[in-house]
Structure 1
Amino acid sequence: MATGFFWDERCFWHAGGNYVFTMPVGGLVQPMTAGGLPENPETKRRLKNLLEVTGLFAELDNRSAEPASYEALARVHPETYLDEFKRLSDAGGGELGRCVPFGKGGFELAALSAGLAVAAVDAVATGELDNAYALSRPPGHHCLPEDPNGFCLLANIPVAIEAAQAKGLAKRVVVLDWDVHHGNGTEAIYYDRDDVLTISLHQQGNYPLDTGALQDRGRGAGEGYNINLPMHAGSGHTAYLHAMDRVVIPAIEAFEPDLIIVACGYDAAMIDPLARMQATAATFAAMTRRMRDTAAKLCGGKLVLVHEGGYSEAYVPFCGHAAIAALAGSNTAAPDPLARSFEIRQPAPDFDAFLRQSIDDMARQLDL
């Protein structure tokens, strides 16, 4: 298989603006920062470096991309929002929403992050690549058209979908979001539409607090095309795979997409500081294999993973490596140093049975 890996060094340079002290260093190297947000470059940089150390990087079709064009961004975001973002970016940075500060040049870096997703989707949708991974930063799944929040400045995946649809490359698209936080931005953008099925697996009661309910199914033409699965804190490997088998895959099969995109966050991992779930690197590998098989069955294998959250500098690289190896069908491994410890700490059998039963109950309410 030809698996693309889309990344750019400059995406690691996105900084927290007014949340951190940033020392300019000439524009040609990463800014020096002190302090900052949980969303930092090291989780992504260490993932890319781990791919190189194991040799998996050399097995991938490694590419960068041009920033998403203003025209592509404006299919999702109002021009008033884009213009204000650019104005603040040129003036040295600022903040446009909840927990989304940025430094000078933040507009261009966010457009580059979206551009990686656009290029990955384009290459897969045209058949140039079998599947792809976009190491996008800053992330995008919390960003509404004019209301950025949760570290997200532009809606990377919707920008990529709209670009593909404008070129006639895909009509029906699934967005599966397994980031531990609800994908409220993507949901809001497609809530009234029936050509994009949005599915979010997230920790119940985590960020955002006011979205992600099971009963939020879409509106108008979009009724039934939005699926939320708010999972109990403590859900682990078997609960996540049960959710995939009981809800996600049946829903995708019924929809019959042309393309599947995964909003691929790793913050459901056991030691993430912003969540209370118990997934492991093996969980992300298994979920990716399920999506690869589902894409092969339904849409010629057209599958793109776009990086979202995940805040453990020590563990995100292993989760990402496991997912990318599964995406590429590679046997190149990065042995999980915490695997045995995490296996021991998985939910007890009675609690695990409760978790799976709660998923079954939600599936029935969703008529799945």
Structure 2
Amino acid sequence: MSTRSGFYWDERCFWHAGGNYALTLPIGGYVQPLAAGGLPESPETKRRLKNLMDVSGIMADLHATSAAPAGRDDLLRIHPASYLDAFKAKSDSGGGELGLRTPFAQGGYEIAALSAGLAMQALSDVLEGTVANAYALSRPPGHHCLPDWPNGFCLMANIAIAIQAARTRGQAQRFVVLDWDVHHGNGTEAIFYEDPDVLTISIHQERNYPLDTGDIADRGRGAGLGANMNIPLPPGAGHTAYLDVMDRIVLPAIERFAPEVILVACGFDAGIFDPIARMLCTVDTYGEMTARVKSAAERLCDGRLVMVHEGGYSEAYVPFCGHRVIEVLSGSARTVADPMAVTVAARQPNARMDAFLHDLVTEMASEFA
């Protein structure tokens, strides 16, 4: 088995766009979209992470590769043919929008399939022992996407597609999906809501997005009852609260479930500088959470851990959060310090707020005990 971490990325994923509203260009082929192209989910957070990795030298420590796009059979395990056909037709005819906050340009279907393919290959390689663990820099993201209705910048359910592909190949049957994106992972939840062999855990800012999902009382249905956990936190939760949640709720739940592999929906929009959320996580928060889940994977499932990139909208801060995750994941000595460390330390919750959050976590922990 390999001791190197895998890193799965493709420049074409950075070319996903929502249409060029500032300047009309014939998007497709060799015409790269403008940086954001009218899409709030900008490629620059991901591109700047990859650039930082190149400059720091950490890429030399990783098994870095692209992957084949998810094929139609792979996609059909999650998405109905009617949805895929409508998406492909609109993509071929210049792009548009099929759901809520999911614009895409010409070729968007192929890029979304590639994004899912990166997650698929990362999971497959970890389960086969080709790499020790993996990070998939998938874009567009996937955790909000329902089988037949995309939303929240998500066009295909990347992690769910990867899980069902691994099941079909007989590589594993029992999975944990830990989602620490600041928004509720409603798509992943819905897909596996009645599945007892996929434990879905979402830590999110309460009522941020979507507004009507993510309640702590939503625990699964039928055979899947108890295999879904929502941990909604109030705005202003930071480093201490997130680690408290990990130690007292998330890690015990993963231990009880005993998965064959752990996947993390790795969003960075709980970061302190994110423009569309109000959480106070730091570079150190993401590093500590990664260390904890990596240790759990080593104890429970031979280190099998796959991180799949989701949201995060601060072009300045996301690269440093992502780099720290990959440092910890790979064990690399090529570290990059948080350039905003002094500022973020000064903006963490005060003792009174931390005490309130600790009591809240205590109350939630009792719900899951």
Alignment of 1:334-345 (within 5 A): 334-345=336-347
Structure 1 residue ranges, 4+ long, deviating more than 4 angstroms after superposition: 18-22
Distance 2:263 2:252 in 1: 16
Is residue 2:139 matched to residue 1:137?
yes
Cα distance in 1 for residues equivalent to 2:35 and 2:239 = 36
1:272–1:85: structure 2 CA closer, same or farther, 3 Å change rule? same
| Pairing 1:345-360 to 2, within 5 Å after superposition | 345-360=347-362
Identify the residue that residue 263 of structure 2 maps to in structure 1: 261
* Deviation of 1:365 (Å): 1.2
TM-score, reference length from structure 2: 0.97
SS of corresponding position for 1:23: coil
Corresponding residue for residue 203 of structure 2: 201
- Report how far residue 25 of structure 1 moved: 6.0
Conservation of the 8 A alpha-carbon contact between 1:100 and 1:151:
yes
Distance 1:22 1:51, change over 3 A: farther
Aligned to 1:110: 112
Match of 2:66 in 1: 64
Which residue pairs with 2:124 in the alignment? 122
**What code does the residue aligned with 1:4 have?**
G
Query: CA offsets, 1:80-118, max 9 Å, x none?
Result: 100110010111101110000101000000000000000
Tell me the SS of whatever aligns to 1:17: coil
For the residues of structure 2 that align with 1:48 and 1:326, how far apart are their CA atoms? 16
CA contact (8 A) 1:218 1:226 kept: yes
Asked whether the 8 Å contact 2:35–2:44 carries over to 1, the reply is no
> Which of 279, 282, 289 does residue 287 from structure 1 map onto?
289
- Which residue in the other structure is 1:165 paired with? 167
Partners of 1:24 and 1:32 within 8 A in 2: no
Q: Which amino acid aligns with 2:198?
A: V
Matches within 5 A, 1:152-231: 152-231=154-233
* TM-fit CA distance, 1:34: 6.9
Task: Give how far 1:27 is off.
Answer: 1.4
Q: What does residue 276 of structure 1 align with?
A: 278
Residue 10 (structure 2) pairs with residue 8 (structure 1): yes
Amino acid of the structure 2 residue aligned with 1:212: G
| In structure 2, C-alpha distance between the alignment counterparts of 1:274 and 1:225, rounded to whole Å | 29
TM-aligned CA deviation for residue 28 of structure 1: 2.0
| 1:172–1:259 Cα contact (<8 Å) kept | yes
Q: Distance in 1 between matches of 2:242 and 2:121?
A: 29
Question: Is this contact kept in 2: 1:100–1:153, CA < 8 A?
Answer: yes
- Contact 1:20-1:34 at 8 Å conserved across structures: no
- Rounded to whole Å, the distance in 1 between the matches of 2:246 and 2:208 is 20
Q: CA deviation at 1:323?
A: 0.5
For residues 243 and 26 of structure 1, do their structure 2 counterparts lie closer, same or farther at Cα, with a shift above 3 Å needed?
A: closer
CA shift in 2, pair 1:353/1:12, >3 Å? same
Q: How many residues align?
A: 367
Q: Is the 8 A contact 1:22 1:32 kept in 2?
A: no
- 1:19–1:101: 8 Å Cα contact kept in structure 2? no
**The one of 294, 308, 317 aligned to 2:310:** 308
Partner of 2:234: 232
RMSD (Å), alpha carbons: 1.2
SS of the residue corresponding to residue 124 of structure 2 reads helix
What is the CA-CA distance between 1:23 and the residue it aligns to? 1.3
Alpha-carbon spacing, 1:100–1:248, altered in 2? closer, same or farther (3 Å): same
Q: Tell me by how many angstroms 1:26 deviates.
A: 6.2
Structure 1 runs not aligned, ≥5 long: none
Aligned to 1:297: 299
Partner of 1:262, secondary structure, is strand
Q: Assess, with a 3 A threshold, how the Cα gap between structure 1 residues 179 and 197 changes in structure 2: closer, same or farther.
A: same
Cα distance between partner residues in 1 of 2:90 and 2:6: 33
Residue 356 (structure 1) shift: 1.5
Instruction: Give the TM-score normalised by structure 1.
Output: 0.98
